[in-house]
């Protein structure tokens, strides 16, 4: 009996001390604000669930390009006349491809909707390049013109080939909605949907803790970051110090309000700070056909624009801008069969 009383006393003291330590260590967990501290308990199960709603988005645009010699002095207005093709000395085909991230935000009946960034799928219809003078200023004469012939946007592991329709695009704020109408209702194709609350980026503070989920370099990953410059544009957008690689664009940003599992979507990872430079390089397919570096290269060379990412400076589009975008396009989406009214608060 005495041992039992001693055990009860020890347990009571331990529990009391634990509560005091907890209250000192996590004093802000019930303040209604987004957390600034590392989560006090595991959230792996929740992140695993959320990760199943985040998908790798691939976009490919196919172009037909015409190359003009400088002496032909082809101008933009000449392209209106189909005879311009006779002035070309070469016709080539090429494609531009981008990998990014998209998140399933709605799936009702046969219609599935995904949220992503506009620059992943926003390819130009016509691309002009001009000759330049010695001062590197553009002359009015075209060096080439390229026309987009088709574009494919798809999720590789979606059923029915996974090709998506572009539903709405906001290039200025870098937001896009894509969708697909399956031939069968969603019971046939069960796809997880992101169903956590849509938060407010403007409520974040300096040092708020966030998670980011996306597909950098095509690999699904989760990383974490700390918020800087909250509400930097007056629309809730902000910066985070999370590492950003190509493919992370469109990845979701999650904040935690009053502890796990209270995740909220507060933004989309849009881009990272970067420096640009040009290099001379062989064709894109040189690695597929092989190249011996001991032998002088004498084939065609191309100018490449290289984007060197400044890691640790990642720009986030706020959830407020996302919701504004959805509200603006709600009627048009409904006409197409995509009902996002449940997301409007």
C-alpha distances in angstroms, 335 versus 58, 223, 338? 26, 37, 7
**pLDDT for residue 278 is more than 90:** no
- Is cis: bond before 261, omega within 30 of 0? yes
Whether 259 maps to a domain, the answer reads yes
Phi then psi for 330, rounded to 5 degrees?
Answer: -60, -45
Are the C-beta atoms of 258 and 189 separated by less than 8 Å? no
Domain count, the chain: 1
Output the domain CATH number for residue 180.
2.40.10.120
**Does residue 279 sit within a domain?**
yes
Domain assignment present for 103: yes
Residue range 169-187: mean pLDDT, rounded: 91
3-state secondary structure of 209: strand
Summarised one tens digit per residue, pLDDT across range 68-105 is 998 888 888 888 887 888 888 999 999 999 999 999 99
Q: Does 133 have pLDDT greater than 90?
A: no
- pTM of the predicted structure, to 2 decimals: 0.78
Judge whether 15 lies within some domain.
no
Q: Please return the burial class of 191, using the count of CB atoms within 10 Å of its CB with bins 0-12, 13-18 and 19+.
A: middle
Evaluate whether 106 touches 343 at the Cβ level (below 8 Å): yes
Q: Is residue 5 part of a domain?
A: no
Judge contact between 163 and 154, C-beta under 8 A. Answer: yes
Looking at the chain, the number of H-run helices and the number of E-run strands are 5, 13
Nearest to 66 by CA among 148, 143, 173, 179: 143
10 confidence band (pLDDT: 50, 70, 90): very low
Q: Please report, for residues 59, 106, 218, 239, 340, the alpha-carbon distance to residue 153 in angstroms, rounded to integers and kept in the order given.
A: 4, 18, 15, 28, 21
> Phi, psi at residue 294, to the nearest 5°?
-85, -10
Q: Is residue 17 part of a domain?
A: no
Q: What is the pLDDT of residues 30-42, one digit of tens each?
A: 778 898 888 888 8
34 lies in a domain? yes
Confidence of residue 200 (pLDDT cuts 50, 70, 90): very high
Sheet holding 54-67, edge to edge: 126-132, 138-154, 54-67, 90-108, 111-116, 175-181, 165-170
Beta carbons of 94 and 300 less than 8 angstroms apart: no
pLDDT band of 284, cuts 50, 70, 90:
low
Read off the pLDDT band of 54 (50, 70, 90). Answer: very high
pLDDT, tens only, 232-248? 999 999 999 988 788 89
- Report pLDDT for 310: 54
Residue 19 domain-assigned (yes or no)? no
Q: Are 224 and 209 in contact (CB under 8 A)?
A: yes
**Spatial CA neighbour of 316 closest among 259, 258, 254, 256:** 254
Residue 270 domain boundaries:
29-340
DSSP 337: T
Over residues 221-227, the mean pLDDT reads: 94
Alpha-carbon gap, residue 35 to 262, rounded angstroms: 10
The pLDDT tens digits for 285-328 are: 555 555 666 567 766 776 665 555 556 689 999 999 999 999 99
What confidence score (pLDDT) does residue 26 get?
Answer: 52
């Amino acid at each position: 009996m005495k041992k039992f009383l001693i055990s009860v006393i020890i347990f009571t003291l331990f529990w009391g001390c634990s509560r005091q330590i907890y209250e000192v260590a996590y004093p802000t967990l019930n303040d209604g604000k987004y957390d600034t501290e590392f989560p006090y308990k595991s959230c792996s199960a929740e992140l695993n669930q959320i990760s199943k709603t985040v998908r790798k988005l691939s976009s490919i645009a196919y172009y037909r390009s015409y190359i003009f010699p400088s002496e032909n002095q082809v101008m933009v207005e000449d392209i209106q006349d189909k005879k311009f093709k006779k002035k070309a000395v070469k016709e080539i085909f090429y494609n531009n491809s981008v990998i990014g991230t998209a998140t399933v935000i709605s799936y009702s009946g046969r219609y599935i909707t995904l949220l992503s960034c506009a620059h992943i799928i926003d390819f130009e219809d016509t691309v002009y390049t001009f000759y330049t003078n010695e001062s590197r200023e553009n002359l009015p004469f075209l060096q080439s013109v390229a026309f987009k012939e088709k574009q494919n946007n798809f999720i590789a592991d979606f059923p029915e080939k996974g090709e998506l329709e572009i539903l709405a695009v906001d290039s200025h704020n870098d937001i896009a909605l894509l969708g697909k109408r399956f031939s069968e209702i969603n019971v046939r194709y069960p796809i997880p949907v992101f169903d956590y609350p849509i938060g407010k980026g403007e409520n974040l503070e300096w040092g708020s803790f966030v998670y980011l989920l996306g597909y950098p370099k095509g690999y699904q990953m989760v990383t974490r970051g700390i918020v800087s410059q909250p509400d930097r544009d007056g629309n809730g957008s902000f910066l985070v110090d999370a590492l950003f690689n190509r493919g992370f664009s469109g990845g979701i940003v999650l904040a935690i309000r009053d502890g796990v599992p209270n995740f909220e979507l507060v933004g989309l990872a849009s881009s990272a700070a970067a420096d640009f430079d040009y290099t001379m390089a062989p064709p894109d397919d040189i690695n597929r056909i092989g190249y011996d570096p001991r032998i002088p290269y004498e084939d065609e060379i191309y100018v490449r624009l290289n984007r060197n990412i400044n890691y640790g400076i990642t720009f986030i589009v706020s959830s407020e801008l996302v919701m504004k975008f959805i509200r603006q396009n709600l009627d048009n989406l409904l006409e197409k069969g995509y009902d996002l009214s449940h997301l409007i608060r």
